[in-house]
Amino acid sequence: MPKPNTTDATRRHADTAWLNGIQAINDEAAGMLDVNIIDATAGVEMIFDAAIGDVEAATLMRAVYQAAARIKKAPRRAPALCLCCPRAVRRLTPATIFGVARPAIAKPSNALAFAFCDKCSADRGNRAAKAATGLRRIWPDLRTVEVTHPEGGRA
Ligand SMILES: [Zn+2]
């Protein structure tokens, strides 16, 4: 698969783990991504499912946890940016929405989460489209981005 756009990726997160995650997804995805949108309700369900041994839920929650940690530890002068727009994501609230991108293959070993800013988080009807656009900015050559759960959750 062609290379990701590391200039845009770097602008969104000045963080090596984020860039490494992008590269890992790139290598595994072959141009096709699945995206889960995770709001607070879906997050609670996934924490429960992960706790009772659901491997997929655990993978998604680990990715969200890592994204949250990246946002919290980002330096003030170089905050994480929304995947979808130029706004910074400096704090997490119960209204913060995450997305998790995974290669659209049978058993993906990589997952990369990102956050929506407060404004994009609130834009419920357009989150899926915005996420697809944001991911295409990082991976200009993506063949498909399927937002499998635009309203959150997996069911
Ligand atoms: Zn935004």
Q: Per residue of the chain (155 residues), what is the pLDDT tens digit?
A: 567 887 777 777 767 877 888 888 888 887 888 999 999 999 999 999 999 999 999 999 999 999 999 999 988 888 999 999 999 999 999 999 999 999 988 888 889 999 999 999 999 899 999 999 998 888 887 788 888 776 665 65
Distance in Å, CA 105 to ligand 1 centroid: 28
Is residue 125 a part of any domain in this protein? yes
What pLDDT sits at residue 49?
95
Is residue 90 a part of any domain in this protein? yes
Distance in Å, CA 53 to ligand 1 centroid: 33
Is residue 155 a part of any domain in this protein? no
Distance in Å, CA 124 to ligand 1 centroid: 12
Full residue range of the structural domain in which residue 142 is found: 6-149
What pLDDT sits at residue 48?
94
Is residue 69 a part of any domain in this protein? yes
pTM: 0.86
Pairing mode, strands 88-89 and 32-38: unpaired
Is residue 62 a part of any domain in this protein? yes
CA distance 110 to 95: 26
The H or E element that residue 131 is part of is: helix 127-138
Distance in Å, CA 122 to ligand 1 centroid: 9
What pLDDT sits at residue 153?
59
Distance in Å, CA 120 to ligand 1 centroid: 4
CA distance 133 to 101: 13
CA distance 25 to 39: 22
Is residue 1 a part of any domain in this protein? no
Distance in Å, CA 113 to ligand 1 centroid: 15
What pLDDT sits at residue 145?
83
Distance in Å, CA 84 to ligand 1 centroid: 5
Taking Cα atoms as reference points, which of 52, 11, 63, 33 lies closest to residue 141? 33
Distance in Å, CA 88 to ligand 1 centroid: 8
| Total tally of structural domains belonging to the chain | 1
Distance in Å, CA 116 to ligand 1 centroid: 5
Is residue 154 a part of any domain in this protein? no
Distance in Å, CA 106 to ligand 1 centroid: 30
CA distance 138 to 19: 10
